[in-house]
Amino acid sequence: MTYPIHQTLAMAVWRLASRQHGVVALFQLLERGYTMSAIKHRVAKGRLHPVRRGVYVVGRPDLTREGEWTAAVLSYGPHAVLSHGSAAALWRIRPERERCIHVTTLPQTDRRQPGIIAHRRSTLGASDVTRHRAIPVTTPIRTIIDIAVGLPTSALEAAVDEADKLDLVDPERLRANLDRRKGQQGVRPLRTLLDRATFVLTDSELERRFLPIARRASLGIPETQTRVNGFKVDFHWPDLGLVVETDGLRYHRTPAQQTRDRVRDQAHTAAGLTHLRFTHWQVRYEPGHVQETLEAVARRDFRTSFGGLGMR
């Protein structure tokens, strides 16, 4: 069946608006053959409702948040993308904290609009942009780098955790990506956070740094890389009933790995052992904390062993 040209155009615009959460841009209407007089006529008839500069709602003027994000992006032209906190909300990495919408656009674009924070950047490459839920947006990695500026460490860590949980990016790949972005805003605080979380010593380096800490805590020399309760452990003091294990990676442990960790911990506890975990980062950069913890355990075990003999 052949439709009149105006009906064919209307159907094409309706399909486009349906994909774009109810909105279309002026440049998109012109690309599809509409004239300015035809657009003005449809605005006057209530078929198009201006919502942003050069952006219209098709049909009913109600918009979802996705529609508001799309309208903001389209108002800055075909090369703009949702970014920063708004992109984080779209990816569900971090809840939206403000009503202002963040958009990244080309440097030569100069359109100040109420309710929009425009970030002008010439270095936004093809690998930094994508579409999610039909909205042009910065990739998860680019989004995390952007929001890292000014975020407290705890909030940034929560965002990375959430992106990892949603399988948007794993922290190891994120950390490797930062090496190619030296000097960009947001890279330094993110690198500092991830270096703490993904720092790994070799087995020999771990022993070389941990054993002196244990000696200073008056624990004596432990058994190393031995099996206890059917599990391989890093350090074991049989006389003290103490097991110490070290985690090289806090991030991105699979559910199966996490389950094995819990089963191992439960087996040691059921056997009456004291079980401690430290990260490799703590052993390398926070030896004082590690030593204080070991000393506290040693004092507790001493009181438990000899308290019944009347020693004070």
Q: What is the pLDDT of residues 163-188, one digit of tens each?
A: 988 989 888 888 888 988 888 889 99
Q: Which residues contact 154 (CB under 8 A, 6 or more apart)?
A: none
The predicted pLDDT at position 310 comes to 46
Q: How many Å apart are CA 82 and CA 62, to the nearest integer?
A: 20
Q: In terms of DSSP H, where are the helices of the chain? A: 5-19, 26-31, 36-44, 65-74, 84-91, 140-147, 153-165, 171-178, 187-198, 203-216, 255-270, 280-285, 287-306
Domains, the chain: 1-63 (1.10.10), 67-197 (no CATH), 203-309 (3.40.960.10)
* pLDDT, tens only, 55-72: 999 987 789 999 999 999
Report the SS3 class of residue 293: helix
How far separated are the first and last CA of the chain, in Å rounded?
99
Give the span between the Cα atoms of 116 and 141, in whole angstroms.
22
Reported as type and span, the H/E element at residue 104 is strand 101-105
CA separation, residue 32 to residues 10, 14, 23, 25 (Å):
10, 12, 15, 11
- Which strands, in side-by-side order, build the sheet including 81-82? 116-120, 101-105, 81-82, 135-138, 129-132
What are the DSSP calls for 27-63, one per residue?
HHHHHTT--HHHHHHHHHTTSEEEEETTEEEESS---
Whether the model pTM is above 0.85: no
Distance CA 307, CA 233 (A): 29
pLDDT average, residue stretch 80-85: 96
Q: Is the pLDDT of residue 224 over 70?
A: yes
